[in-house]
Amino acid sequence: MIIDFVGIRDEAIKQIKAALAKNKKLHITSHPGMFSEAEIKRLANQTPAILTTFMRYSDEENTASFVSWVLYRADSKDRLYDGALKIVSALVPVLRGIDAEWSIGGGKDIEAECLYSAALDQINATLWGVRWDWHIRDTVFDDGEGGVRLDDLDYFEGYDATHLIGDAAAKDTVHL
C-alpha cells in the first residue's frame, strides 16, 4: 500500500470526525499550520472547532506529528472557557485510539496546551494546541516503483492580465 502525507492527515481527520460525530456543532477539518490573531478572528464564527495540522515528519522514527487546534468561543457565562476544556477532554482519548492498517497504534506523546491570550479574550475566544504523534510503517511510501506519484498536482505557471486604470490599459505578466 502506498500513501502520502495528505492521506495520513485526512485519515486522522476522518477518524476524529467519526468519533465526535454526535456533536453536530463541532467543526472538524484540516488547517495548513499556525495561526495569526487576524485568522483566529476570522475563524471565530466557525467555533467550536478542531482544526488539525500535519506539522512535521521524522523519517528516523517514522512519525507524523500533528497539532489539533481547539478553537472555542464562549458566551458571557463561560468566562473560564470550560467548553474548550470539555472538547480537549473528549479529543485526547480519540487521538489515543486512532488507527489505520499502515499505522503502528494510535496517537502517542499527546500534549495539550492552553494558548489563551488577552487579545483572544477580547473576542470571547480561546485556543488550545493539542500536539500528538502518529507512528506509521515506513513501507507506506514505497510501492517498489518510485513511491508517491505527483501527476495530479496543479502547478501555478504564471499570471497574465490587462487592467484598466482610468482610460489606459496596463499589462501585467508574471511567468514563473
Torsion angle of the four alpha carbons 170, 171, 172, 176, in this order, in degrees rounded to the nearest 10: -170
Helix%, strand%, coil% for the chain, nearest 5: 30, 35, 35
The confidence score (pLDDT) of residue 122 equals 85
The pLDDT mean for the chain works out to 84
How far is CA 29 from each of CA 3, 42, 137, 152, 170, rounded to the nearest angstrom?
A: 19, 15, 24, 22, 41
Domains of the chain: 5-146 (3.30.2000.10)
Angle 7-13-17 (CA atoms, 0-180°, nearest 5)? 140
CA contacts within 13 A on the Cβ side of 17: 12
Q: In this predicted model, what pLDDT tens digit does every residue of 22-66 receive, in sequence order?
A: 999 999 999 988 877 788 888 888 889 999 999 999 988 889 999
Q: Is the pLDDT of residue 110 over 60?
A: yes
pLDDT level of residue 74 (50, 70, 90 thresholds): confident
End-to-end CA distance of the chain, in Å? 35
Write down the pTM of the prediction: 0.78
Q: In this predicted model, what pLDDT tens digit does every residue of 144-169 receive, in sequence order?
A: 565 555 555 465 566 566 666 777 77
Angle 57-85-129 (CA atoms, 0-180°, nearest 5)? 25
Q: Is the pLDDT of residue 131 over 70?
A: yes
pLDDT level of residue 93 (50, 70, 90 thresholds): very high
DSSP 85: H
Amino acid making up residue 83? G
Percent of the chain topping pLDDT 70: 80
Q: Which three cell numbers stand for residue 23?
A: 456533536
The confidence score (pLDDT) of residue 156 equals 56
DSSP 106: E
